[in-house]
Amino acid sequence: MPLTDTDLDPIDLLRLGDRHALAIVDRDGTLSAVPAVAEGDRWRRAGSGDGAAEALLRLLACTPGRSTHRRFEVVSWTGGPAPETERPVTVDQTNESIIVGDLAVVKWAIHLEPGPHPAPGRLAALTAAGFTAMPTPWGVVTWTPRDGAETLVVTVTGYLPGAVDGWTWAVELFKDAARSGDHAAVIGVCATLGTVVADMHAALAATVTTSTRTDAQRWRDGAFATLAAARQLARPGSAQLLADHDEHITAVLDRLSTLVGIPILNAHGDLHVGQVLRTGDLLVITDFDGNPVLPPAERILPVPAAVDVAGILQSLSHVAIVAAERSELTPEHLTPVDADARAALLNAYLHRLSETGHADLHIAHALGALRLQQVLREVVYAGRHLPRWMYVPDAALPALLRETSR
């Protein structure tokens, strides 16, 4: 019998008070964590306004710390009182987020990822270290399947009114700077962002270990696998460029195999401007779910801090490409803005990293290879999932090849 919304048939359930639950459902082998509300003797899929998010917040408020409910684990960093009144987040999203009382965002993992999941550990480490440039974590719920690793099913964070992500705020800033020739605002915001990223790495420094030959070989092999996929998926122009510069590209990516004996840490892992929310002068980093292109077991492994730095720097170059595409501006108008933005971010990052006593975390000679890998990943992503994004890596690749061959 096909499942309907009034007959969830959960494979596991976390009760949230009398009438609500968090249900794990299996639809044709795909697991989801969905909010549920009791209807007679059945569980119905709860929507915004049905009170499941409010019920979860009440549970977090009355059980601060860590508590285990069979295969569920609830971690709460809040002691209440629990806000009320639900409304949905309406922007494009992968999961399903509900805003409660304009104070908290409850994100249900509608697409349950196989574990292990990096977010609970990252959020706990950042919270313990007093890092504040992220939406305030209120709590997480994890679930451990009978035959698998623990994974994340709900994340609750403090709500930031009016927050927009970098694919909006940075694109606007870049366009304004290119039109006026005044780069002060871009430089100011990117410097702040560099400081925030350094503070995040300093906060995660408690997780530092040293890379082994196996780590370096895995990074190198991963980059060459990405290169092979990009060669298959690139459009003719970029495919030609990859062929023409094969020797240079191979040499750059090969540098990853030399990253032995360097400091590595539980970094963000998927840092780009889209993960940076801005509200007024405040910048916060979101989404500690790890890099979705890596297999789950690899997502939780420590990496050089330079992975995050390369990710955020390269995303600024992509912002410049998007800004030119979506306006009357040409790439030539945007190039100096991009250069100033990246220089400001990197300088501020290095300055703060030194100030906090963690200068050794920065591995400058890895940046070129990691940025190149990021561009190749964008080719693969666009080729497989989002063809209309391909203009971004198509424009980024020649620019980066010019930069790395200087």
What residue ranges bind ligand ADP (CB under 6 A)? 89, 91, 93-95, 97, 105, 107, 135, 157-160, 163, 165, 286-287
Q: Please identify, using beta-carbon distances, which residue of 95 and 257 lies nearer to ligand ADP.
A: 95
Tokens of 267: 């970094």
Q: Please identify, using beta-carbon distances, which residue of 196 and 306 lies nearer to ligand ADP.
A: 196
Query: Following DSSP, what letter does each residue of 85-135 receive, concatenated?
Result: -EEE--S--SSEEEEETTTEEEEE-SSPPPS--SHHHHHHHHHHTT--SSP
Residue 10 to residue 202: CA distance in whole angstroms: 42
34 in Cβ contact with 110 (< 8 Å)? yes
* Minimum distance from residue 104 beta carbon to ligand ADP (Å): 8
* Minimum distance from residue 173 beta carbon to ligand ADP (Å): 17
3-class DSSP assignment, residue 28:
coil
* Minimum distance from residue 287 beta carbon to ligand ADP (Å): 5
Please enumerate in sequence order all residues whose Cβ is within 8 A of that of 314, keeping only pairs 6 or more positions apart, or say none: 272, 371, 374, 375, 396, 400
* Minimum distance from residue 113 beta carbon to ligand ADP (Å): 11
For residue 22, the one-letter residue type is L
Q: Please identify, using beta-carbon distances, which residue of 137 and 304 lies nearer to ligand ADP.
A: 137
86 in Cβ contact with 131 (< 8 Å)? no
What angle, rounded to 10 degrees, do the helices at 236-244 and 391-404 form?
A: 20
Q: Please identify, using beta-carbon distances, which residue of 122 and 342 lies nearer to ligand ADP.
A: 122
For residue 82, the one-letter residue type is A
Residue 142 to residue 198: CA distance in whole angstroms: 29
* Minimum distance from residue 103 beta carbon to ligand ADP (Å): 10
* Minimum distance from residue 35 beta carbon to ligand ADP (Å): 15
Q: How many CA atoms lie within 13 A of 107 on its CB side?
A: 23
Q: Please identify, using beta-carbon distances, which residue of 164 and 208 lies nearer to ligand ADP.
A: 164
* Minimum distance from residue 394 beta carbon to ligand ADP (Å): 25
Q: How many helices (H) and strands (E) does the chain have?
A: 12, 16
* Minimum distance from residue 56 beta carbon to ligand ADP (Å): 15
Residue 335 to residue 406: CA distance in whole angstroms: 17
For residue 278, the one-letter residue type is R
Residue 112 to residue 230: CA distance in whole angstroms: 27
* Minimum distance from residue 262 beta carbon to ligand ADP (Å): 30
253 in Cβ contact with 226 (< 8 Å)? no
222 in Cβ contact with 371 (< 8 Å)? no
